[in-house]
Structure 1
Amino acid sequence: MAPTTKVPARVLGQRELEQAGIGAADLKGFTFNFLAGKGLPSGVKDVSQRPRPVPAPCRPLYDMTQYISGYQPVARVIEEARSPTDGQPATTIALASYKETEAPKTIADLQNAVRSCTTFTTSDYGTRYIYTDIKTQPAPHLGDQAISYVMTQNLPEVPPRCGEG
């Protein structure tokens, strides 16, 4: 099924995104913490302040690891779901709405990056990260458009501190 470019009749606001998120009623036993939204700051860095991945066309993939895109969201919510068995973080859920002209561009940019990138690197806070094995997955039939992919983040080796190892 080819992706559509249908634009919603209106852009969802902050309260609507907060209500649309997954919560305790959806995942029994899990606890949820808001990381952005519900009165918390969005934490979106200015585009000029963000790390630059190499190669540059992979930027939309890196941006998604930070729950952002190349466009300023109108509203944004980030929730962390914690496991009922051990209380550890299980997943993070991010929702964002964009201006009517920017929402389709966000998806198109990501689709192009998934098709053209197989690996990329970035440096953040002095640490180099490598992302590999980028592959598309069947997209769910949700919302106006959807995209699904997987990639591997290769964590950097951290040298042992004095007295360790």
Structure 2
Amino acid sequence: MKATLSRGAVSALVVAALGFTAAGCGGKGDSAEGKERPSPSKAAAAQADKPKKAAAGALSAAQLAEVIVGKGDVAGYKFEAKAKDEILNLNMPAKPEACQAVADMFFFGTQPEAKASLGRNITPAGKDSTDANYTSLVLLSHEQADAEKVIGDLRTSVEKCGGKYEHLEMKYDGVKALPAPEVGDEAVSYRVSGDFDGDKMPMFVTVVRSGSTLVAASTLNYLEPEKTEVPAEVIEAQLAKLKKGA
């Protein structure tokens, strides 16, 4: 999508990517067939409806639905279906260009585009839980060569981004590589911060490749940003379920 977006549309897209709406209200839980929230913009709606063709080696949307984590897979967490308009391949340029892959992954976008994708919004469950981390997890289906390219480009982007970038009229900083978990075939972890309406908030991201599928997870902590952490147990459970399903 090459068209220029209005400031309002940009804000709506960022809100969707961060999951503010999902974090602020309850849903129907784990059902992937529950009602989706209205699209935050015409641009997002058009992107969500864009058809994708599954290629050889890439899991289809139906196959992703069978292997994505959900209710009962990880104790202590609540899983909700992630709306289509929260997974966007905007193909809009970032400045500097070296940060493009990081900017794309903010919206769970990749170049080349995933053949199919499916996500979950994940929050700690239990009345005694004090964990305020909010995680978005998305499975991105590719042919294996494309999956390898995407995670390789992301790793390079994190290293060469220079710590800050601009994308869709928004400014981000604090881009920094973090120790990646030794799981899957390869993994990349990093952090990035954005200034949203005056509030700077860090987001921690982990992307793991398992064969031709990418497991992408981003975590925010609205109450205690300094305690932001991508839940390792959720990543491990997702990889185990993906491997078993494959």
TM-score using structure 1 length = 0.70
Number of equivalences: 141
- In proportion to residue count, which structure has more helix? 2
- Aligned Cα RMSD in Å? 2.8
Say yes or no: does 1:148 pair with 2:188.
yes
Say yes or no: does 1:10 pair with 2:57.
yes
Q: Which residue identity does 1:32 align to in structure 2?
A: F
Look up the match of 1:77. 118
Look up the match of 1:5. none
Please say if residues 61 and 113 of structure 1, whose CA atoms lie closer than 8 Å, have aligned partners that are also in contact: yes
Counterpart Cα distance in 1 of 2:105 and 2:86: 15
Specify the structure having the higher radius of gyration (Cα). 1
Secondary structure at 2:99 match in 1? helix
Secondary structure at 1:102 match in 2? helix
Q: Which residue identity does 1:138 align to in structure 2?
A: A
Secondary structure at 2:145 match in 1? coil
Counterpart Cα distance in 2 of 1:42 and 1:102: 22
Secondary structure at 2:103 match in 1? helix
After TM superposition, list the pairs within 5 Å mapping 1:50-89 onto structure 2.
Answer: 50=92, 52-85=93-126
Shift of 1:117: 2.3
Gaps of 5+ in 2: 1-55, 200-246
Alignment partner for residue 27 of structure 1, among 53, 68, 74? 74
Counterpart Cα distance in 2 of 1:130 and 1:46: 17
Shift of 1:56: 0.6
Counterpart Cα distance in 2 of 1:54 and 1:41: 24
Gaps of 5+ in 1: 1-8, 160-165
Please say if residues 176 and 190 of structure 2, whose CA atoms lie closer than 8 Å, have aligned partners that are also in contact: yes
Look up the match of 1:138. 180
Look up the match of 1:6. none
Shift of 1:79: 0.7
